[in-house]
């Protein structure tokens, strides 16, 4: 029996290619290691380093089922979702890959055999397209496979794949399924209806290297990258007209029906909303499970938009209750067996998604009501879009989407102009790392090809003798020699210097050699990730020649401090999960010699009591002096023993496992202590927010922690001396002093009130037509407020204005108070004080009954008195 369910199709696809010598590779995370991408957008993304030659492929051929998201940046299908049968924000991509092993003659028969024999598809309903220049592929389809020539069509750029403007590229051949005449015009993919002829598999043949001048140079080892959308293929296998009718989506749509009380199948916008709710529910579940949290930046912003679109469409259907938790539960129920991490992270996903929906619902109603009024009048101006965004927190994407549904436009240029005035962050495109001295990648690849990867000796020794200089780079060019004073990048065949990665900073130190050679290493980074180390250096003495033999020595004390801090991040990670819960996941780190920084997912601030518990647990581990084991093993074995992967680290089939004592087992390629006692004391310095649902802890260890403790002890002793107490008595003594100060302040406040009351009677008695305007120097803002209020109470009905020089003579103040009856008649303290406050170089609040303000222009007091007298008189007579 051919496969009919999603699980059966996944199993059939992988088994087919495993039987043909392919390594089955598990799905990578939706968060790619490629800095140019927001998400993993295709099955080939995890394999990109192999295709472009940055890393050697560990296997000649592979197959995978990769979870993918296309909902941001260049790859953005978001606006089409729910309205077509072809677009999803989350999808699964079936793929087989050849890394210079087989090519067209094998890839095309593989695809045909799987479809016609493994999946039992009718060959008469399969159509094929090839690139207009690809005679070889057409011949294989026609002569070797036997596809009739009339069902092979040549196309242009649609059948030519490029990774970028330059680099690997090549023609592709696509396989289409004919749904039948009831779905549109005949004529194949080239001439017929796109609703009738659905692309189900794309085979990319990477055979050229595109040059800057546009020419195509044949690659020495052509490769194959294929991708078949699981959802589309399931629709074909299950004989349903659209991907929305497959088993995966049907259960999610049923959940959307239950959450909204709307029945699917009537057509029109309600069906679109239900499809969006089902699809976005799946996408948000996978994104959060893979470590994305809602925010206003990059991936987090895309996730936030997906959640808000789902909520808004549920709202359109009349729902006012939470819907996203129900969609998350449905997604886990449908896909949890295939992706166990969904089950593992259930509580985390529900918490993050539910809280985001609750926050958004609070702004949605106000925004929709106001936008309805705006759209009733016409298009949305930039000013009104800005008001919705800035004042109500209503997203501009939602404004644009709702306006589009009403066939209205939004002045996005005007909105952008308004946003520019208060924009606090830059939305720059992700840039590749590297400074002004960065060399072309081709140069590094040449060095890698000639000499192989850098051998890292720094786990066994701090000084390596006999290291050979294999390259000297300056200003992007390769040098044969570097003179004293030159700042260069040095490459060695082996080195004890750790290159910055996984949050750990690079080592510093020195290279020395004969004839007084001394080179100071300022930093160490990767020229090619994980393979070729680069020593950023300055020649201090002697001449450094390519090919020379040097002694490479790191700064040992600095490395020891780094080791302490790095192992401590793992201990803190364990302690955080013990105290706060298993939902805590690392979201970034910085490990330097002086301190460590650890970012983690959590929904709220960590209270001091929990911080104390976390610190105590970490120090308990350190005091145990348990051994630390750091070793290489297979990724499968690491996963089987429960090793936790650290954020941002990249793992192949061979990984390094760190067992830091009995409780912490994690994947990590950094440098670490050999026993926990070497870390020394762990001291948490701070905890705070770095984004939505993201927290940060900073801490110190070893001698730096002892310095911190010593500083705190010195402060306590200083305070003890000031309050004439022993350090142990300080808290009690300070509490008594605070109580005394509070009592004295209360007495002072009482005396001030009495003094103000004493003056108030005389001032009120001097009122003219219910207006009192006087100058009183030496009063601060609180005293001005107190006096103005007291005079107003004595006055009964009228306006009080007091202006004067402040206590220290550097500022002038003003207070205006208006009785309630005058406010009801139209008078406003803020309006009366406005001109006078400006004369003093400041302003006031907008309260109509009482305002206090002032400014630094003390020479403007007389003018301020005249202005406030005139304004008060006008308000009183009015």
| DSSP reduced 3-state for 491 | strand
The alpha carbon of 525 is separated from its chain's Cα centroid by a whole number of angstroms, namely 23
What are 578's two structure tokens? 């013990």
Span 799-834, pLDDT tens digits: 999 999 999 989 999 999 999 999 999 999 999 999
Confidence (pLDDT) at 382:
87
Q: In terms of DSSP bridges, do strands 463-474 and 477-479 run parallel, antiparallel, or are they unpaired?
A: antiparallel
Going edge to edge, which strands form the sheet with 654-660? 628-634, 654-660, 664-667, 644-645
CB contact at 8 A, 77 and 89: yes
Q: Name 660's bridge partners.
A: 628, 664
Span 654-667, pLDDT tens digits: 789 999 999 999 99
Which ranges of the chain have pLDDT less than 50?
A: 423-437, 647-648
CB contact at 8 A, 175 and 128: yes
Q: How many CB atoms lie within 10 A of CB 782?
A: 12
CB contact at 8 A, 542 and 484: yes
DSSP letter at 647? T
- CA–CA dist 396, 544 (Å, integer): 57
- CA–CA dist 11, 9 (Å, integer): 5
Residue owning tokens 């001698």: 703
What are 735's two structure tokens? 């509490």
User: Contacts from 436-440 at CB under 8 Å and sequence distance 24+?
Assistant: 436/475, 437/473, 437/474, 437/475, 437/476, 437/487, 437/488, 437/489, 438/476, 439/473, 439/476, 439/477, 439/478, 439/489, 439/527, 440/476
What are 256's two structure tokens? 């959307």
- DSSP result, 813-851: EEEEEE-HHHHHTT--HHHHHHHHHHHTT-B----SSEE
Q: Which of 456, 463, 460 is nearest to 553 (CA)?
A: 463
- CA–CA dist 79, 124 (Å, integer): 34
740: part of which helix (H) or strand (E)?
helix 730-765
Q: Crossing angle, helix 298-316 and helix 247-260, to 10 degrees? A: 60
Confidence (pLDDT) at 427:
33
- CA–CA dist 272, 227 (Å, integer): 27
Q: How far is CA 92 from CA 149, 281, 288, 383, in A?
A: 31, 15, 17, 41
| Angle value at C-alpha 560, between 559 and 565, nearest 5 degrees | 95
CB contact at 8 A, 815 and 854: no
| CB neighbour list of residue 37: distance below 8 Å, 6 or more residues apart | 45, 73, 75
- DSSP result, 64-110: EEEEEE-EETTEE-GGGTTTSSS--SEEEEEEEEESSS--HHHHHHH
| CB neighbour list of residue 433: distance below 8 Å, 6 or more residues apart | 35, 525
CB contact at 8 A, 587 and 647: yes
686: part of which helix (H) or strand (E)?
strand 682-691
Phi-psi group of 614: left, alpha or beta (phi > 0 → left; psi -120 to 50 → alpha; rest → beta): alpha
Q: How many CB atoms lie within 10 A of CB 611?
A: 17
Burial (0-12, 13-18, 19+ Cβ within 10 Å), 808: exposed
Number of residues in the chain: 878
DSSP letter at 140? I
What are 47's two structure tokens? 């394999």
Please give the span between the terminal C-alpha atoms of the chain, in angstroms, as a whole number. Answer: 92
CB contact at 8 A, 832 and 814: no
Rg (the chain; Cα; Å): 35
| DSSP reduced 3-state for 345 | coil
| CB neighbour list of residue 836: distance below 8 Å, 6 or more residues apart | 801, 803, 814, 863, 864, 865, 867, 868, 871
How many helices (DSSP H) and strands (DSSP E) are in the chain?
A: 25, 34
What values do phi and psi take at 294, rounded to 5?
Answer: -60, 135
What are 486's two structure tokens? 């030159």
- CA–CA dist 414, 692 (Å, integer): 28
Q: Which of 197, 223, 187 is nearest to 208 (CA)?
A: 223
Confidence (pLDDT) at 878:
62
What are 114's two structure tokens? 């799987």
Confidence (pLDDT) at 439:
58
Going edge to edge, which strands form the sheet with 682-691? 586-591, 596-601, 694-701, 682-691
Q: Determine the longest span between alpha carbons in the chain, in angstroms.
A: 112
CB contact at 8 A, 620 and 571: no
Span 85-102, pLDDT tens digits: 778 999 999 999 999 999
Span 457-485, pLDDT tens digits: 999 999 999 999 999 998 888 888 999 99
Strand (E) positions, 179-235? 197-210, 216-229
């Amino acid at each position: 029996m051919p496969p009919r369910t999603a699980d059966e199709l996944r199993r059939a696809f992988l088994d087919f290619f495993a039987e043909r010598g392919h390594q089955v590779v598990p799905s990578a995370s939706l968060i790619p290691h490629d800095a140019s991408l927001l998400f993993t957008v295709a099955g080939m993304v995890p394999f990109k380093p192999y295709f472009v030659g940055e890393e050697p492929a560990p296997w000649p051929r592979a197959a995978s089922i990769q979870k993918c998201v296309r909902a941001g940046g260049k790859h953005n299908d978001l606006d089409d979702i729910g309205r077509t049968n072809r677009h999803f924000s989350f999808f699964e991509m079936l793929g087989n890959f050849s890394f210079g092993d087989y090519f067209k003659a094998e890839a095309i028969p593989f695809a045909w055999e799987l479809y016609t024999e493994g999946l039992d598809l009718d060959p008469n309903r399969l159509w094929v397209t090839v690139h207009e220049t690809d005679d070889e592929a057409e011949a294989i389809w026609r002569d070797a496979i036997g596809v009739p020539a009339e069902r092979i069509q040549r196309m242009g750029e649609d059948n030519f794949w490029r990774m970028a403007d330059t680099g690997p590229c090549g023609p592709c051949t696509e396989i289409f399924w004919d749904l039948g005449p009831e779905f549109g015009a005949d004529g194949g993919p080239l001439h017929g209806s796109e609703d009738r002829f659905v692309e189900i598999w794309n085979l990319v043949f990477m055979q050229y290297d595109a040059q800057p001048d546009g020419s195509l140079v044949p690659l020495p080892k052509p490769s194959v990258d294929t991708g078949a959308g699981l959802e589309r293929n399931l629709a074909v296998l299950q004989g349903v007209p659209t991907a929305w009718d497959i088993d995966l989506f049907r259960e999610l749509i049923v959940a959307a029906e239950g959450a909204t009380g709307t029945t699917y199948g009537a057509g029109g916008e309600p069906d679109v909303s239900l499809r969006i709710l089902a699809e976005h529910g799946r996408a948000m579940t996978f994104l959060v499970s893979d470590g994305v949290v809602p925010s206003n930046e990059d991936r987090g912003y895309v996730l936030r938009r997906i959640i808000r679109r789902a909520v808004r469409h549920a709202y359109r259907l009349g729902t006012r209750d939470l819907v996203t938790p129900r969609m998350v539960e449905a997604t886990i129920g449908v896909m949890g067996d295939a992706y166990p991490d969904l089950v593992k992270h259930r509580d985390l996903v529900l918490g993050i998604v539910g809280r985001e929906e609750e926050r958004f619902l609070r702004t949605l109603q106000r925004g929709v009501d106001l936008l309805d009024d705006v759209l009733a009048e016409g298009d949305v101006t930039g000013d009104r879009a800005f008001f919705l965004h800035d004042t109500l927190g209503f997203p501009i994407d939602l404004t644009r989407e709702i306006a589009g549904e009403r066939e209205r436009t939004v002045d996005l240029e005007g909105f952008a102009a308004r946003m520019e005035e208060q924009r606090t962050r830059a939305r720059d495109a992700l840039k590749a790392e590297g400074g002004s001295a960065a060399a072309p990648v081709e140069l590094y690849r040449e060095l890698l090809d000639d000499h192989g990867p850098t051998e890292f000796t720094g786990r066994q020794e701090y000084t390596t003798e006999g290291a050979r200089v294999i390259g000297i780079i300056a200003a992007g060019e390769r040098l044969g020699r570097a003179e004293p004073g030159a700042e260069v990048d040095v490459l060695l065949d082996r080195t004890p210097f750790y290159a910055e990665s996984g949050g750990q900073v690079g080592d510093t130190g020195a290279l020395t050699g004969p004839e007084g050679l001394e080179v100071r290493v300022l930093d160490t980074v990767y020229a090619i990730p994980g393979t070729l180390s680069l020593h950023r250096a300055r020649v201090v003495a002697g001449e450094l020649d390519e090919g020379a033999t040097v002694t490479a020595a790191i700064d040992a004390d600095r490395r020891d401090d780094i080791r302490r801090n790095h192992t401590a991040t793992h201990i803190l990670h364990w302690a955080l999960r013990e105290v706060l819960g298993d939902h805590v996941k690392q979201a970034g780190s910085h490990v330097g010699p002086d301190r460590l920084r650890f970012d983690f997912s959590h929904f709220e601030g960590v209270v001091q009591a929990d911080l104390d518990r976390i610190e105590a647990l970490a120090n308990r581990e350190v005091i145990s002096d348990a051994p630390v084991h750091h070793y290489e093993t297979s990724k499968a074995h690491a996963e089987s023993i429960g090793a936790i992967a650290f954020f941002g680290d990249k793992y192949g089939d061979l990984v390094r496992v760190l067992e830091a004592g009995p409780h912490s087992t994690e994947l990590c390629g950094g440098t670490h202590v050999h026993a926990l006692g070497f870390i020394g004391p762990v001291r948490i310095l701070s905890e705070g927010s770095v984004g939505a649902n993201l927290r940060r802890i900073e801490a110190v260890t070893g001698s730096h922690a002892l310095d911190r403790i010593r500083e705190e002890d010195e402060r306590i002793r200083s305070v003890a001396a000031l309050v004439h107490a022993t350090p142990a008595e300080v808290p009690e003594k300070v509490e008594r002093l605070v109580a005394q100060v509070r009592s004295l302040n209360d007495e002072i406040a009482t005396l001030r009130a009495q003094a103000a009351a004493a003056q108030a009677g005389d001032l009120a008695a001097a009122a003219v037509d219910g207006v009192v305007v006087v100058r009183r120097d030496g009063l601060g803002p609180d005293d001005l407020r107190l006096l103005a209020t007291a005079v107003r109470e004595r006055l009964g009905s009228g306006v009080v204005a007091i202006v004067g020089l402040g206590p220290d003579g550097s500022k002038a103040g003003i207070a205006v108070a208006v009785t309630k009856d005058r406010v009801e008649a139209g008078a406003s303290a803020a309006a009366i004080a406005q001109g006078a406050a400006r004369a003093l170089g400041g302003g006031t609040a907008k309260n109509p009954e009482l305002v206090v303000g002032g400014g630094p222009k003390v020479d403007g007091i007389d003018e301020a008195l005249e202005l406030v007298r005139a304004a008060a008189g006008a308000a009183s007579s009015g």
